[in-house]
């Protein structure tokens, strides 16, 4: 629980604040950039919410924080929506996509995504265990499959898999991070789970990194920590600084995604982005040119 005595000086005056326990995971400002922003090695409240809609966003950011570093008054906290997460991001012909919130410290606040689809719902990476979230997911049809994009973002995977009896996929090269996983992806060839769902190995950030592709036209790409969006520079980022395994391999993995038709990029860390039709390839070429400059 955030403590007023540890409120960071950078916070805007008012009831919401970030305290000194912030781990700078980015969850709050990725979800609610109107009110939260990075500041040095922590986040802070840049503007206090005004009106019911903004209050809802700030309260959900508070709920999503993996270390309870965001505080507010008990009266405002009591107004936290019970149905906030999963939060709808986009409706694609291949499935509805939701952000799960409830980030886990064990995956450094990584985003997890729910795909609600006729062929069975899919959870991409894992939130911290939350009974209210599990009830909401049950109401949306439960979970058929859980995909772990890489070793860092496995969080409470065993708890979620047990609760829903769903099979877990992870690449064999990262399988030691999820020893109970039922399905291992081997090698570098994409695996078509069904017509609208593919797992594509993208080694680099870790040896077993993979991305998930939903749909074929204007598809949704769940990129783990392979790629994310930088809104200030309007670029897709592949980061050498945060590459834990092999940077040259990571760039080759970026190249293998050039021919996709991506409409949404939904990463584990960093910002999401919706691309105009046809914009994906140019954005990725820019990423590769910058990385090899």
Q: Which residues bind ligand SF4 (CB under 6 A)?
A: 18, 22-28, 43, 65-67, 69-70, 109
CB of 195 to ligand SF4, least distance (A): 37
125 vs 174, which CB is nearer to ligand SF4? 125
70 vs 197, which CB is nearer to ligand SF4? 70
109 vs 201, which CB is nearer to ligand SF4? 109
CA distance 184 to 205: 18
61 vs 181, which CB is nearer to ligand SF4? 61
67 vs 274, which CB is nearer to ligand SF4? 67
CA distance 169 to 150: 10
CB of 201 to ligand SF4, least distance (A): 29
2 vs 147, which CB is nearer to ligand SF4? 2
CB of 59 to ligand SF4, least distance (A): 13
Instruction: Measure the CA angle with vertex 196, ends 212 and 112; round to 5°.
Output: 35
CB of 50 to ligand SF4, least distance (A): 20
Q: What is the gyration radius of the CA atoms in the chain, in angstroms?
A: 19
- Report in angstroms the alpha-carbon separations of 243 from 108, 159, 207, 247, 288: 15, 28, 10, 6, 15
CA distance 81 to 61: 11
CB of 156 to ligand SF4, least distance (A): 17
Length of the chain: 293
- Report in angstroms the alpha-carbon separations of 84 from 6, 64, 90: 27, 10, 15
CB of 20 to ligand SF4, least distance (A): 10
58 vs 166, which CB is nearer to ligand SF4? 58
Work out the burial of residue 230: count CB atoms within 10 Å of its CB; fewer than 13 is exposed, 13-18 middle, 19 or more buried: middle
Q: In what order do the strands lie in the sheet with 87-92?
A: 87-92, 95-99, 113-116, 122-124, 145-147, 167-171, 183-185
Structure tokens at 126: 């894992």
Structure tokens at 195: 């017509």
CB of 228 to ligand SF4, least distance (A): 15
CA atoms within 13 A of residue 38's CA, in its CB half-sphere: 11
């Amino acid at each position: 629980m955030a403590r007023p005595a540890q409120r960071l000086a950078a916070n805007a005056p008012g009831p919401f604040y970030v305290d000194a326990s912030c781990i700078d995971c980015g969850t709050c400002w990725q979800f609610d950039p109107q009110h939260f922003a990075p500041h040095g090695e922590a986040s802070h409240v840049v503007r206090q919410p005004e009106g019911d809609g903004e209050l809802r966003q700030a309260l959900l950011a508070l709920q999503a924080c993996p270390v309870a570093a965001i505080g507010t008054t008990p009266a405002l906290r009591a107004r936290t929506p019970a149905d906030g997460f999963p939060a709808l991001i986009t409706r694609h012909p291949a499935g509805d996509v939701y952000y799960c919130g409830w980030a886990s410290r064990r995956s450094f606040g990584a985003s997890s995504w729910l795909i609600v689809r006729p062929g069975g719902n899919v959870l991409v990476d894992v939130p911290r265990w939350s009974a209210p979230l599990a009830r909401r997911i049950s109401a949306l049809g439960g979970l058929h499959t859980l995909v772990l994009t890489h070793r860092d973002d496995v969080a409470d995977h065993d708890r979620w898999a047990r609760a829903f009896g769903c099979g877990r996929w992870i690449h064999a090269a990262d399988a030691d991070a999820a020893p109970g996983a039922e399905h291992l992806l081997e090698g570098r060839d994409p695996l078509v789970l069904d017509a609208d769902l593919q797992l594509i190995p993208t080694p680099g950030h870790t040896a077993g990194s993979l991305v998930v592709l939903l749909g074929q036209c204007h598809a949704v790409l769940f990129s783990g920590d392979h790629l994310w969006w930088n809104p200030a520079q309007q670029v897709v980022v592949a980061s050498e600084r945060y590459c834990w395994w092999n940077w040259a391999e990571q760039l080759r993995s970026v190249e293998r995604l050039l021919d996709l038709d991506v409409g949404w990029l939904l990463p584990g860390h960093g910002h999401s982005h919706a691309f105009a039709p046809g914009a994906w390839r140019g954005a990725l070429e820019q990423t590769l040119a910058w990385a090899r400059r």
